[in-house]
Amino acid sequence: MKATLTIFALLALPFLAVAQDKADLAQCIQATLEYPEIAEVLEAEWTNQEKVYLRHSAITMTNPPHFTRLFKQLQDTDLGGIDFEVHLIQPGEEGFMPSEARDHGIIDISGAFRGDRMSITLFAWFPNNPRQKLSKAYVLERYEDGWKVVD
C-alpha cells in the first residue's frame, strides 16, 4: 500500500507546481514573440507595421481550459515592452475584428500549461500577404526571472 501511495505521489508532482496567472501568460507570450526565430519574422514581415493582432480562438464551453481563462484576463497593456503595439482578439470577438487586422497581420495563439512548463503554438498570416504563413510550436520553462523558450 505504501509503495502505491509513493508512486501516486511521484506521478502527481508535476501538477503540484505553483498555479499560473495572467502575468505568467503575458511573460510566455512576450518571450515567444522575442525569441530570435520569431523576432526575425516579425521584423522582416511586419516592416512598417505598428500593430500585431493576437487572436485566441477557443471553443465556448462551461469549463474552458486554463490557457483560455488566462487569455481572457489579459489586456493589451499586459504585453508592453515589445516593438509592436499588441491588440488582443478575445474568443468570440473574431466577428468584430477590425478590417485593418487583415492589413496588419494576425497571429493565432494557443497553448497549455503543465506545471513549470508551457507549450505555445503560433500560426500567423503575414500582413499584405495572406498566402504566406508561419506555423511554430515552442516549449517554455519557468526560470527565476520569468519564462524562457527551451532550445
* Orientation angle between helical segments 36-45 and 22-34, nearest 10 degrees: 70
| % of the chain exceeding 90 in pLDDT | 14
> Is residue 53 within 8 Å of residue 106, measured between CB atoms?
yes
Mean pLDDT computed over 13-42: 78
Q: Angle CA(48)–CA(46)–CA(135) in degrees, nearest 5?
A: 175
Residue 13 pLDDT > 60, yes or no?
no
| Cα–Cα dist 92/84, whole Å | 24
Q: Please name the residue that has the C-alpha cell 506545471.
A: 115
pLDDT recorded at residue 11: 46
Please report which confidence band the pLDDT of residue 74 belongs to, taking 50, 70 and 90 as the band edges: confident
Query: What is the rounded distance in angstroms from the CA atom of residue 127 to the CA atom of residue 83?
Result: 16
For residues 138 and 63, which has the higher predicted lDDT (pLDDT)?
A: 138
Nearest alpha carbon to residue 148 among 31, 57, 33: 31
Quick one: what percent of the chain has pLDDT higher than 70?
Answer: 70
